[in-house]
Amino acid sequence: MWIYDKKLQYPVRVSKCDPQMAKYLTEQYGGADGELAAALRYLNQRYTIPDKVIGLLTDIGTEEFAHLEMIATMIYKLTKDATPDQLKAAGLGAHFAAHDSALFYNNASGVPWTAAYIQAKGDPLADLYEDIAAEEKARATYQWLIDMTDDVDLQDSLKYLREREIVHSLRFKEAVEIIKADRETKKVY
């Protein structure tokens, strides 16, 4: 069960009309290493991970949905008042034809999200190392997104999200250490 707080995890302010940036931000919405993929990956893997780290996957998976909401807010703000001509000029003509200004889970190139992006091997190390890799890839994506906009307000929210990836990556590394140490601790009576 979840409890919903009707506010964003961190404020999202967009101060420049730039529908093209919305197209690029979509990579973190419905891309292979985006927030949707992250949330669904962790919240699914947690059922078969050793119970010492289930809570970590629940917490981080939940936070990823909060990040998804921030990215959605950015995309929505950048496209809600754009005309079809502006969307065409921003490379979003095909998106408009299928979805109007609605958000959709595809990546920056328009490829729809697929569960093939994520994995659950049932092996704790294999799963956790995938999670660490996903966090570092998302961190890199945020860096390139920050590099692509001169809107300092948008940069500010993206920098926050990038830092969260770094923290999550460390937490997954700690989970690996916990998994590795499990046998030793059981020997102590």
Annotated catalytic residues are 35, 64, 67, 135, 165, 168
Which one of residues 59, 101, 155, 179 is an interface residue with another protein (CB under 8 A)? Answer: 155
Tell me the window of 32-40, 58-66, 89-97, 167-175 that interacts with another protein (CB under 8 A): 167-175
Looking at beta carbons only, is 44 or 156 nearer to another protein? 156
Q: What is the SS3 assignment for the chain?
A: CCCCCCCCCCCCCCCCCCHHHHHHHHHHHHCCCCHHHHHHHHHHHHHHCCHHHHHHHHHHHHHHHHHHHHHHHHHHHHHCCCCHHHHHHCCCHHHHHHHCCCCCCECCCCCECCHHHCCCCCCHHHHHHHHHHHHHHHHHHHHHHHHHCCCHHHHHHHHHHHHHHHHHHHHHHHHHHHHHHHHHHHHCC
The smaller minimum CB distance to another protein, of residues 120 and 161, is found at 161
In whole angstroms, how close is the CB of 100 to another protein at the nearest point? 29
Contact between 148 and another protein per CB under 8 A = yes
If one asks whether residue 184 binds another protein (CB under 8 A), the answer comes out as: no
Contacting positions for another protein (CB under 8 A): 10, 139, 142-143, 146-150, 155, 159-164, 166-167, 169-170, 173-174, 177
